[in-house]
A = this chain, B = another copy of it.
Amino acid sequence: MLRMDLKGEDLPKYWYNIVSDLPDLPPPIHPATKEPLGPNDFYPLFPKECVNQEFSKERYVAIPEELREFYLRIGRPTPLYRAKRLEEYLGTPAKIYYKREDVSPTGSHKLNTALAQAFYAAKEGLEYLTTETGAGQWGSALSYATMMMGIRALVFMVRISYLQKPYRKLVMRLYGAEVVPSPSDRTEVGRKYLERDPEHPGSLGIAISEAIEAAMKDDKAKYSLGSVLNHVLLHQTIIGLEAKKQFEALGEKPDILIGCVGGGSNFAGFTFPFLEEVLKEKGSYDVVAVEPSAVPSLTDGEYRYDFGDTAGITPLLMMYTLGHDFVPPPIHAGGLRYHGAAPTVSLLKKKGIIRSVKYPQEDVFEAGRIFARTEGIIPAPETNHAIKAAIDEALKAKKDGERKIIAFNFSGHGLLDLKGYEDVLKI
């Protein structure tokens, strides 16, 4: 078995809501009053159905039929591959599998939630969604999704990325999104920063503030986030739900599950459906969250309430954090440059249900090169983190002579990140 496909009719009909199995998940709280926040506090900001899902205790949330059509269109169910050539290269007795989230039109898992959010926004009658983007992976996904749902996207893109990484900006514009470099003159926050420095390079924190402000002051718009929140991770569980079916069809059960973590959305999407068994004490998995050494929130952060954004304008979330004022070094894995980790992922780490590891940039790019040279697909810098951990587990299995089954989420391809390979590997 090189590749395990599912049929279109095997596309999951429900997302798995891990919150239903985490009754002790600390709620978001108000920064001033410290009171728990509820749906009413979020309705002005996010599409209504997303807020309902954010607070839902339902275990299985139905995926609307029309949305499933869009999932089919982007290549879902995505194939599960066996990394036979990588195994042979490593000389390991372990089996390595990877779930290919790179096959979507924007090249990553991000569309799984972008489509859902844009779907609910369009249904609610909104005209557009605002969001922020760093390198542009999330912005591309939301631009695609809003276009498909017949609404628009207003994307605040960190100015330095806007100038230095023009390709994803072009993807967004080709999809009809309005992309503005942040800080911009479109918001009060943006104007404040521009007054101080007309060439301000921007930051994800400022871009979030601008996107929220822009959404709040227009009735026709709401705001969209690409990770961290419960409803975002919920939408991503389609990855793991498919993977479970694929392993069942193979008659195999993974021992080790691996994903890279920035905010936590691809990691959660891949692992939560397996963790359902663990939380119900019906199964056990070694679940590994992989972080960059430069931004090791789960590995070296504190578990406490902190702001979700850098500027400190969001509610407080209970999570592992390096501090909301932590400035992540400019590593190429832009999607992992987040100071915290999703509250659900953080709680699972706190409980010891998952563990985390961290790797320096050079090591993960070298893992990416090995993967490209064996399996033939060029991974995104973020994905290289998961690959590095999978390789290390496979080598451990070799040392121990154990026939482990390792599975990781191949979250995206690196075709628009080739500069990173050039810089780090000097190719």
Spell out A's residues near B (CB within 8 Å): 2-3, 5, 7-8, 69, 72-75, 103, 105, 107, 144, 147-148, 166-167, 170-171, 173-176, 369, 372-373, 376-378, 415-416, 418-419, 421-422, 425, 427
| Of B148, B376, B416, the contact of A147 (CB 8 Å cutoff) | B376
Contacts of A72 in B (CB 8 A): 2-3
Contacts of A171 in B (CB 8 A): 378, 415, 418
Contacts of A2 in B (CB 8 A): 69, 72-73
- Count the copies: 2
Minimum C-beta distance from A190 to chain B (A): 23
In the bound complex, how far is the Cα of B69 from the Cα of A425, in angstroms? 31
| Of B69, B107, B175, B373, the contact of A373 (CB 8 Å cutoff) | B175
14 other A-B residue contacts (CB within 8 Å) besides A167-B415, A174-B418, A415-B416: A2-B69, A5-B5, A5-B8, A103-B103, A144-B376, A147-B373, A166-B418, A167-B418, A170-B418, A170-B419, A171-B378, A174-B425, A175-B376, A176-B373
Specify the chain B residue showing the minimal Cβ separation from A69: B2
A-B contact pairs, 24 of them (CB 8 A): A2-B69, A2-B72, A2-B73, A3-B8, A3-B72, A3-B73, A5-B5, A73-B376, A74-B376, A75-B103, A105-B376, A105-B377, A105-B378, A107-B415, A148-B376, A166-B422, A167-B418, A170-B419, A170-B427, A173-B427, A174-B373, A174-B421, A174-B425, A174-B427
Given A2-B73, A373-B147: A422 and B170 interface contact (C-beta under 8 Å):
yes
Contact between A175 and B415, CB atoms less than 8 A apart: no
